[in-house]
Amino acid sequence: MLLLSRKDILSVFTMRDAIEADKRAFVLHTKGKAVVPLRINIETESKEGQCMFMPAYVGGELNMAGVKIVSCFTGNAEKGLPVIPATVALIDGNTGLVTAIIEGTTLTQIRTAAISGAATELLSNPESKIAALFGTGGQGPAQLEALMTVRKLEEIRIFDALSGRAAAFVEKNQPLADRFGVKLVAAASSKEAVKDADIITTVTTSATPVFENDDIKPGCHINGVGSYTPDKREIPEELLRRAGRIFVDNSEAVLSEAGDFIIPMKEGLFSSDSIDGELGDLILGKVEGRRSKDEITIMKTVGFATLDIVAAAEIAKKAAEAGVGTVIDL
């Protein structure tokens, strides 16, 4: 069995690797090669924490199963421990043996950002130069890297609803952006962030839209990543109606979890028929992507366990080839 830490993961698994892994996961999901049961949520007796178990099996050429365990214990902050620790166990589909245990927080951050990277590569205008990132939490740096990996950007505007966080994020992450020749700018307002933006990624917990429809220019591509519960949304419903193409990572999951669609659907302002397909459909050539330079495109994701298994398998493979990690016998 191979044990892999955050350091191990980052030494063998690049953002480009993650984007390609996610694309494979989208295709396997759309082809019906994945089995993803409902996640199990167990709350502790004290009600101070919960543990979530997210199992999945991916067949086809992968033939791997696994489970991601994600816990949420807010009191950990006072103890100097992670508030949301995560671990992924990878299981060989031929033998049933656990082949790897992987630090799950880093894996989740990278594979989630890679969803945006894949969608941006598939749907945004190739000549895009300006991007905007809403949200400076734990997902921020990886989302930043994903955008810069797939497009030769010149500037990325950063906005956060909490005062001072955007500026702090820019200062901390400019060295990363320098590697790509990109300038980071702390935007003073949502309007300033999206002005003339070619690409927008939202990764917040907002319950209301984080920008105005009228501020979005023709041809913009939007990645809706945050607000993944039925009562929250980041994208204005007017923009959903204005968009020429709308894609999702997992139709069933998005329509049951994403307030960006659920809220306007309840209000009669949006229909699931307006969703053009899953990213897997797009990759397989079953549906058409962007049709014109001025068309607005939207991708909404809530994530699903297939992404974790495919990414974990790729990480374990690369680590074994590089001799990275700790091998143990149980």
pLDDT digits (tens, 9 = 90+) for 163-193: 999 999 999 999 999 999 999 999 999 999 9
Residues facing 223 on adjacent strands: 201, 299
CATH 3.30.1780.10 residue ranges for the chain: 2-107+306-327
> How far is it, in rounded angstroms, from Cα 312 to Cα 261?
30
Confidence of residue 17 (pLDDT cuts 50, 70, 90): very high
pLDDT of 239: 98
For Cα atoms 25, 29, 34, give the angle at the middle one, nearest 5 degrees: 100
- pLDDT over 70 percentage in the chain: 100
Mean pLDDT of 101-112: 97
DSSP state of 38: P
Least confident of 22-26, 29-33, 80-84, 171-175: 80-84
- Give how far the C-alpha of residue 146 lies from the chain's centroid of Cα atoms, to the nearest Å: 10
CATH T-level topology, domain 2-107+306-327: ornithine cyclodeaminase, domain 1 (3.30.1780)
Give the residue among 61, 57, 202, 176 at the shortest CA–CA distance from 119.
202
Q: Is the pLDDT of residue 330 over 90?
A: no
Q: Where are the beta strands (DSSP E) in the chain?
A: 2-4, 34-35, 40-43, 50-58, 64-72, 86-92, 98-103, 130-134, 155-159, 183-186, 199-202, 221-224, 245-248, 277-278, 297-300, 326-327
Confidence of residue 302 (pLDDT cuts 50, 70, 90): very high
Mean pLDDT of 66-95: 93
Least confident of 79-83, 177-181, 245-249: 79-83
Query: Is the separation of the CB atoms in 315 and 101 below 8 Å?
Result: no
Query: Is the separation of the CB atoms in 220 and 239 below 8 Å?
Result: no
Number of C-beta neighbours around residue 277 at 10 A: 18
Judged by phi (left if over 0) then psi (alpha if -120 to 50, else beta), residue 80 lies in: left
Q: Where are the beta strands (DSSP E) in 38-173?
A: 40-43, 50-58, 64-72, 86-92, 98-103, 130-134, 155-159
DSSP state of 241: H
Mean pLDDT of 209-230: 96
pLDDT in tens, 37-67: 988 999 999 888 999 999 999 999 999 999 9
Confidence of residue 261 (pLDDT cuts 50, 70, 90): very high
CATH 3.40.50.720 residue ranges for the chain: 124-304
- pLDDT over 90 percentage in the chain: 92
Residues facing 159 on adjacent strands: 134
Give the residue among 20, 54, 30, 27 at the shortest CA–CA distance from 40.
54
3-class DSSP assignment, residue 210? coil
Query: Is the separation of the CB atoms in 27 and 328 below 8 Å?
Result: no
Residue appearing with tokens 């398998």: 313
Q: Is the pLDDT of residue 82 over 90?
A: no
Query: Is the separation of the CB atoms in 153 and 147 below 8 Å?
Result: yes
Confidence of residue 227 (pLDDT cuts 50, 70, 90): confident
Least confident of 78-82, 164-168, 233-237: 78-82
Query: What φ, ψ does residue 121 adopt, rounded to 5°?
Result: -65, -35
pLDDT of 310: 98
Query: What φ, ψ does residue 254 adopt, rounded to 5°?
Result: -65, -45
pLDDT in tens, 272-290: 999 999 999 999 999 999 9
Evaluate whether the domain defined by 124-304 bears CATH number 3.40.50.720.
yes
Confidence of residue 228 (pLDDT cuts 50, 70, 90): confident
Q: Is the pLDDT of residue 98 over 90?
A: yes
Written as six digits, the tokens of 189 are 């307002």
Q: Is the pLDDT of residue 314 over 90?
A: yes
pLDDT of 281: 98
Which residues lie closer than 8 Å to 123 by C-beta, 6 or more apart?
221, 245, 247, 282, 289, 290, 297, 299
Q: Is the pLDDT of residue 300 over 90?
A: yes
Query: Is the separation of the CB atoms in 224 and 133 below 8 Å?
Result: no
